[in-house]
A and B are shown apart, each in its own frame.
Chain A
């Protein structure tokens, strides 16, 4: 059996929690990013514009002692809009270069992070391995003047503390969820899944039984071309059919047990076996129906009712004898067969079922079906109904095979349903008299 992830709740929970972890971490980082920018704006203040103040940030080591001087960044090259290369130049108050050697081989690569209207441009830069904010602004006479440097770590540190606390809470929550899932939710889920598995097994067995109860080899000979389909709905239904040549006659039964599930499937199987063993051409169909009714009443502890339609067709005379116990109306060439209202089976042990007869002709087409066909519902909850069924039959090319006819009806029903689910079992028998 194919292993699905939903079969392993523990793995599923771990995956879900991992997803939760990733999501919350992502959100945390995003919040941090936003708050960092806010923090930057709030904390901004001008640094003293002297080398002493700036030097620690830039790791400047100058020999000039207390001599008044400025550090400037001078544009070396503009690689692209977002990234520029600068080198340090230290000048005195008069603008004379004091330490040009300082710049040699020491360039900054800076990435623009934020534009501040008030102060110029803020950059996030790597200064020899340490990240820091550097504030520069264009100066009319000089290329660029360094006016402030902020330690990135310093600004980040208090946010980092908050983030650490937050992540700690997330981790604790994660562990709590894991513990709750592991010891409480998972066992419950496992029990539910186990029950579902058992129910599915039962369902599959019942479906299997239902499929075994119906005819799967369809008689095609010089007299008849027949085909049938059974489409169970979401549950195992009670639709059944069985037909074939027996004792020189074409005999068929179609029925619908008024329940679903294993019990209904068992009853269907019983009916099917009975028909298979008991159908004899010489027994009138009403007698057969009486026996079947008796059998179903005998199993009355199941409290099941069953609609049944039994028929014999003599291939020589094309006379059809039939007996209907509460079943849907059989159609012959687009017209409904005259069917007396007789009680459905399983209710009255001594019900006096009687046989009806009809003369068929070469080329006639018979359609037997269960109420899953006429009571199929469209998206607007309307029923497919007998009228549409009649229209379908009238529009059908009489030349097509019985198998194609069954498929055509299934397609028509599917088109009618649209997106709506199949609400009941569908069983169809199509018989062409050659």
Chain B
């Protein structure tokens, strides 16, 4: 699992690659922690190289989304693999993640 955080034209693009399972989600949480404190941040998640996401890792993603929104920012997922899309669909999160 690898998290790449880049800032382009005022948008923070968070790309997650590899697999987000029980073991790697703790690392993911540490990687995104600084972003959860920032005010008025526009976050775009690029999950086009995320091969797997356990339902446990969803909690972290949801908490991340909530923190960003609470701080006046916006959160959206721009790209996603079919496997992860299935997880979002099953858990009913697609509507909240792909609001735009």
Interface residues of A in 374-429 (CB under 8 A from B): 375, 383, 423-424
Q: How far is the CB of A329 from chain B (nearest CB, A)?
A: 7
B56 touches A342 (CB 8 A): no
Main secondary structure of the interface of B (DSSP, over half): helix
B90 touches A341 (CB 8 A): yes
Interface residues of A in 252-266 (CB under 8 A from B): 256, 258-260
A304 touches B93 (CB 8 A): no
Q: Which residue of A lies closest to B91 (CB)?
A: A326
Main secondary structure of the interface of A (DSSP, over half): loop
Interchain CB contact (< 8 A) of A328 among B22, B58, B90, B96:
B90
Q: Point out the residues of chain B lying under 8 angstroms from A258, CB to CB.
A: 55-56, 58-59
Cα A13 to Cα B23 with chains together (Å): 33
Q: Which residue of A lies closest to B83 (CB)?
A: A383
Q: Point out the residues of chain A lying under 8 angstroms from B94, CB to CB.
A: 341
B55 touches A307 (CB 8 A): yes
Q: Point out the residues of chain B lying under 8 angstroms from A303, CB to CB.
A: 59, 63
Interface residues of B in 48-100 (CB under 8 A from A): 52, 54-56, 58-59, 62-63, 89-96
Q: How far is the CB of A237 from chain B (nearest CB, A)?
A: 9
Q: How far is the CB of B5 from chain A (nearest CB, A)?
A: 22
Cα A162 to Cα B55 with chains together (Å): 67
Q: How far is the CB of A379 from chain B (nearest CB, A)?
A: 16
Determine whether B21 belongs to the interface, using a CB cutoff of 8 Å to chain A. yes
Cα A423 to Cα B55 with chains together (Å): 13
A343 touches B96 (CB 8 A): yes
Q: Point out the residues of chain B lying under 8 angstroms from A375, CB to CB.
A: 54
Determine whether A108 belongs to the interface, using a CB cutoff of 8 Å to chain B. no
Cα A329 to Cα B56 with chains together (Å): 17
Determine whether A431 belongs to the interface, using a CB cutoff of 8 Å to chain B. no
Q: How far is the CB of A211 from chain B (nearest CB, A)?
A: 21
Q: A344-B55, A371-B54 are in contact. List 16 more A-B contacts (CB 8 A).
A: A256-B55, A258-B56, A259-B59, A260-B56, A305-B58, A307-B55, A325-B92, A326-B55, A328-B90, A343-B92, A344-B91, A347-B62, A347-B96, A348-B96, A423-B21, A423-B22
